[in-house]
Structure 1
């Protein structure tokens, strides 16, 4: 049976169906800080519901434009948040905009993370309507690919409430099995897991990079 890894990014995870497999998260992108109480609860909720969570960097920069030290910092900040909130060290990362180079690969390797990119975009960030995104899924299914790794952004209401539910049903009806990226690739979901840490004054985005911090 074919595999279908469906992925998304953002931290408004409570909008997503429990069946959804994998979420790549930022720490301080457009929207609330990952350490905000409601957001932290959503990250833990995702893990508890069986979602795989992974890194999408802290502030969503163009990684190929950064120095190695800056890339390390971007990756560490979101790793630190995962450790504090959920007690996990991610084993996967998705580079913002799908952009990476040899320097990004080297840093990700040093940090023990596999780079993951999509092979199908729902188009939900292009200004498409839900109907248009759904049609893209319908057209994709007609081509009968063996595996699919899709990109969706649950910060959009129509993605969480219309597109993703449609995609899940359509793909399952076509015989696809939804799995996490880790299961799809046959790798552990996390480098290690431990108990979450108690909230303290370090749970903050203050003084850390935000969108547009880098040239």
Structure 2
């Protein structure tokens, strides 16, 4: 009864915002830990609405070389893992414009939940809030809610799968961590994977380090493309739709705040 009431309250909040919340019946989210097809690479980027992903300052000059464009230019796509209020507020004007830019380019926007907390430490009610607040922001900004959720720190349990499964079919973990080390170390790690002719990869990357966009990704993307890999989204990697509850983005209101 309590679970039903909480879902009803979440739905009521969405209706008040001019949105409709779709719930799934009975099934926990499926855990995915890698891609299904060979010769595919799904690259994900944490805290992806931060400023360095779209615009880099070099010698005080604003350049348009960014992660989104790197993948677009290579004929591929990537996935940005979003939270609402950890690195910066998702409703900030720059963040909103950047999300719309990546979305329009065909890159996937997936959920890292609202506050980037360990989901296994939260109450059921707080966990639902972490999921639904990010979904609401996504619906307002780009007119779609993400089907894929990556748990912060890779931390999950059966309760997380059950509650995420109320609205989403997929909880996703990476099978390669590209977040640690110097830029040259990270490049060498990816080069080693390419040289070993890995079947496929679902990789985690740290976007907020400026060298990710300015140095590491141009090298890594070129290496995979030259080796014949296809750069795809997480949704393509695991075989699900990227979004649900597609609708028209809304105009900014006083409710757009963190």
Q: Which protein has the larger Cα radius of gyration, Structure 1 or Structure 2?
A: 2
Aligned residue runs from structure 1 range 71-110, under 5 A: 71-110=127-166
Displacement of 1:135 in angstroms is 0.3
Match of 1:197 in 2: 250
Task: Tell me whether 1:165 sits opposite 2:202 in the alignment.
Answer: no
> Does the 8 Å contact 1:17/1:165 carry over to 2?
no
Match of 1:144 in 2: 197
Cα distance in 2 for partners of 1:166, 1:116 equals 26
Match of 2:236 in 1: 183
Displacement of 1:113 in angstroms is 3.7
TM-score (norm 1): 0.90
| Pairs aligned (count) | 201
Match of 1:17 in 2: 68
Displacement of 1:187 in angstroms is 1.2
* Structure 2: tracts of 5 or more residues without a match: 1-37, 55-65, 72-76
Displacement of 1:157 in angstroms is 0.1
> Does the 8 Å contact 1:24/1:53 carry over to 2?
yes
Cα distance in 2 for partners of 1:118, 1:92 equals 12
1:101-142: CA deviations, max 9, x gaps?
A: 11110011111241111111113xx3x211010000011112
1:151-192: CA deviations, max 9, x gaps?
A: 112111011211111111111111111011111222111113
Match of 2:182 in 1: 129
Cα distance in 2 for partners of 1:162, 1:71 equals 36
Match of 2:19 in 1: none
Match of 1:27 in 2: 84
Displacement of 1:56 in angstroms is 0.3
> Does the 8 Å contact 1:58/1:75 carry over to 2?
yes
Cα RMSD (Å): 1.2
Task: Tell me whether 1:62 sits opposite 2:115 in the alignment.
Answer: no
> Which aligned runs of 4 or more in structure 1 are off by greater than 3 angstroms?
none
* Structure 1: tracts of 5 or more residues without a match: 206-215
> Does the 8 Å contact 1:88/1:192 carry over to 2?
yes
